Structure 1
């Protein structure tokens, strides 16, 4: 908070709950930005060292393991956090039962992912070794209950300390591996060791911070309750991971690992910007919800302003990147990855629909339309798989990029036209794509900083 401007600090200094929330969000944002920045630098260095084929195999294995991670979590995170907040007295039973469920979830996920890699690549010993090593991290899933507890207490800084500290340590170790010409499998072991250190630190921190939680309880009845509440979130998590990872897996199987490297390199640059709309939406949406209580028309205008801003931000990133993609990729990753530039030129335009999707996802939550939110993610996943199947054999990594843009458009925009409840949002997003109209609106968006008006001032119809 010492880095916070004085006028902000004065407003929240005497509001301890708000101060705690702001500090919690700040730690999460700091951890995310550090992870993205250092992670991108490390990825560039590793890609240059490993080359397209080995880097592609590592990306393929990581994507495959990512699918198992969604299953291992069993959709429990939000349910556990919610239940602890509702019933603090039952925290030992909730956390203890969740720990056991996550352990068995990780065990089942690990067996599943081993079965899949043996089925997909029965003769590829290196791929099986990488998946076996990287997938072992799912066996540590039970340690995540510590992160659930810290989140429920608005103390995410402890999770950030453990994760960012471990990340920096093993970023340095991976750098040493590169300097010493280590084999590909060494990087997989380093990734597993990083997961192990995070699990150890999280478990230690919760024991030191909350000594009362050392005696956890497990009950069958609580396990049934948690699973009954979490299965819709489990389906949603699996759908999201399919949506995010299936293109790399299909590329690896249908074309080869080098194509995965070309595609994943473009994706890492393209998605490096995604934390920006996430931060904006997280920051401004509480103010948008506040306007809903005063005026529905004003609430919809604020949503329109937000959509306008999302479109302009995404175009501000996508347009120059369309012309500079190949020089940027070549400068960062080397000539061996030059083909990623063409993929990036297409993939970067998914940002328009991704940014709109970030904004509307909060609207779905505000309107209590979580099941519709799941349906739109499912639509995007289905479209993505079908288009990958149709385009990858003919266009390779470029086909996967086209599939991503179209599937993001289907989920983040077109889905809204299919349901009466969301049709108004579809129209608002369509308006935001009219750049002449939205440019005039953006001149008024000093309002997106949403300065608080004096109480006696009335809100005008143009606000």
Structure 2
């Protein structure tokens, strides 16, 4: 098997090029995970539930509006750059202008909100700092340029260096007994350093930011294609962040800290299905071209793989959650273990959801994807309102678990065109096809 794979790679230079490109991104993700499980955990333990809750609440509050900054343009930019390299400066300039406009809207919303809420001055200061960083993020359109040229290493290298430096800064601040705001400055450093690195590599490659040109015609064309992604991005932002905002309103910062500590451990693995499904997506598309039978077979195997990977993540966490929380965070975060037990169960639904999104794209059913995510968002908000006052942070965990099942697995059953994916996911969840074929892929 390994010999065949080696021969295949050797005979396919294009495949090798894309594999190397992906390996840079994978390396960056893995390093970020390792640092999150070491330095990030140390920071959480140092800050304690109350201060960590303040930071998590501010990040979640700003994160709800984050989709207005990126406008779902990243993949659209890559597609347009691949198609029309001669229009590079217009595409990048128009995208940058749109994302800057989106950041301006975010800042208006955040500014109004701080006058209407009852947050303390520090929380509002952190919200404003994080909001201002969305303007800096507009320059990450440059990363789309490098992705379009299959040169993701520039993005990854900058990210790797930035992560290493920020880790050292966090350790220095912990050992020096610095306050919460300095860790917020490290978050700002991460964004600014990544942007500066991208600009440096961009100019080093012979390009110039001064050549960028904004075109309303190009901007409208980009928005026309991106609006479903903008809408789904807003839905996902609310879906993923609203629980921590609502916990703050119902229970306070300390409870947010307890909940967020567990969630960060649970969500640390979400990059796995994203990278695997993106890598296997071309094989799914090729199968669709060749035959319907091969297409459906590969889809089923992809769903099977997602369930198995989900189980591999879930089982050790369920067995070791109390020990993990105690070792990583300490006694102060004892409530996080119960949340982790519940929240981690949703991983299998998230993994299936990532795979199912690829099916939506291959069938050109993006509108159904938005509706399914919308179902999940509505269920999540309603359950949080009902369960948090009754069960506390455990209620928020149950709300997330149920809404993830609804959005990823259950919602497709309500539409005739998407019902087939529901049954494939159901077979995967009950290991029907795995036991039948006795193989995963």
Q: TM-score, normalised by structure 1?
A: 0.90
Residue in structure 1 matching 2:80, options 73, 80, 83: 83
Q: Once the 2 structures are TM-superposed, how far is the Cα of residue 7 of structure 1 from its aligned partner?
A: 5.8
Aligned length: 440
Cα distance in structure 1, aligned partners of 2:157 and 2:429: 40
Cα distance in structure 2, aligned partners of 1:228 and 1:306: 31
Q: Which secondary structure state, in structure 1, belongs to the residue aligned with residue 64 of structure 2?
A: helix
Match status 1:70 vs 2:67: yes
Match status 1:56 vs 2:53: yes
Match status 1:293 vs 2:323: no
Deviations 1:357-416 (A, max 9, x none): 122111111111111111111111111111111111111110110000100000111011
Cα distance in structure 2, aligned partners of 1:389 and 1:145: 37
> Greater CA deviation, 339-348 or 7-16?
7-16
Match status 1:159 vs 2:179: no
Cα distance in structure 2, aligned partners of 1:224 and 1:290: 32
Residues 266 and 343 in structure 1, CA contact (< 8 A), matched pair in contact too: yes
Q: Which secondary structure state, in structure 2, belongs to the residue aligned with residue 368 of structure 1?
A: coil
Cα distance in structure 1, aligned partners of 2:86 and 2:434: 53
Residues 428 and 434 in structure 2, CA contact (< 8 A), matched pair in contact too: no
Cα distance in structure 2, aligned partners of 1:348 and 1:265: 12
Q: Within 5 A, what are the aligned runs for 1:21-420?
A: 21-122=18-119, 124-211=120-207, 214-420=210-416
Cα distance in structure 2, aligned partners of 1:216 and 1:309: 43
Cα distance in structure 2, aligned partners of 1:439 and 1:15: 30
Q: Once the 2 structures are TM-superposed, how far is the Cα of residue 120 of structure 1 from its aligned partner?
A: 2.5
Deviations 1:32-56 (A, max 9, x none): 1111221232221011111110011
Deviations 1:145-168 (A, max 9, x none): 211111111111111111221121
**Alignment-derived partner of residue 430 in structure 1:** 426
Q: Which secondary structure state, in structure 1, belongs to the residue aligned with residue 263 of structure 2?
A: helix
**Alignment-derived partner of residue 440 in structure 1:** 435
Residues 74 and 105 in structure 1, CA contact (< 8 A), matched pair in contact too: yes
Cα distance in structure 1, aligned partners of 2:221 and 2:285: 31
Q: TM-score, normalised by structure 2?
A: 0.94
Q: Once the 2 structures are TM-superposed, how far is the Cα of residue 66 of structure 1 from its aligned partner?
A: 1.6
Cα distance in structure 2, aligned partners of 1:317 and 1:209: 41
Structure 2 gaps, min length 5: none
For the pair shown, the structure with the greater C-alpha radius of gyration is 1
Deviations 1:296-347 (A, max 9, x none): 2232233223222322332333234223211211111100001111111111
Structure 1 gaps, min length 5: 449-463
- Mark the CA change 1:442 to 1:399 in structure 2 (over 3 Å): closer, same or farther: farther
Q: Which secondary structure state, in structure 1, belongs to the residue aligned with residue 178 of structure 2?
A: coil
Q: Once the 2 structures are TM-superposed, how far is the Cα of residue 75 of structure 1 from its aligned partner?
A: 2.2
Deviations 1:400-436 (A, max 9, x none): 100001000001110111010111111122222324x
Cα distance in structure 1, aligned partners of 2:258 and 2:199: 38
Q: Once the 2 structures are TM-superposed, how far is the Cα of residue 220 of structure 1 from its aligned partner?
A: 2.7
CA RMSD, Structure 1 to Structure 2 (Å): 2.0
Residues 263 and 340 in structure 2, CA contact (< 8 A), matched pair in contact too: yes
- Mark the CA change 1:298 to 1:217 in structure 2 (over 3 Å): closer, same or farther: closer
Residues 228 and 366 in structure 2, CA contact (< 8 A), matched pair in contact too: no
- Mark the CA change 1:312 to 1:14 in structure 2 (over 3 Å): closer, same or farther: closer
Cα distance in structure 2, aligned partners of 1:176 and 1:6: 48
Cα distance in structure 2, aligned partners of 1:140 and 1:309: 38
Cα distance in structure 2, aligned partners of 1:237 and 1:326: 34
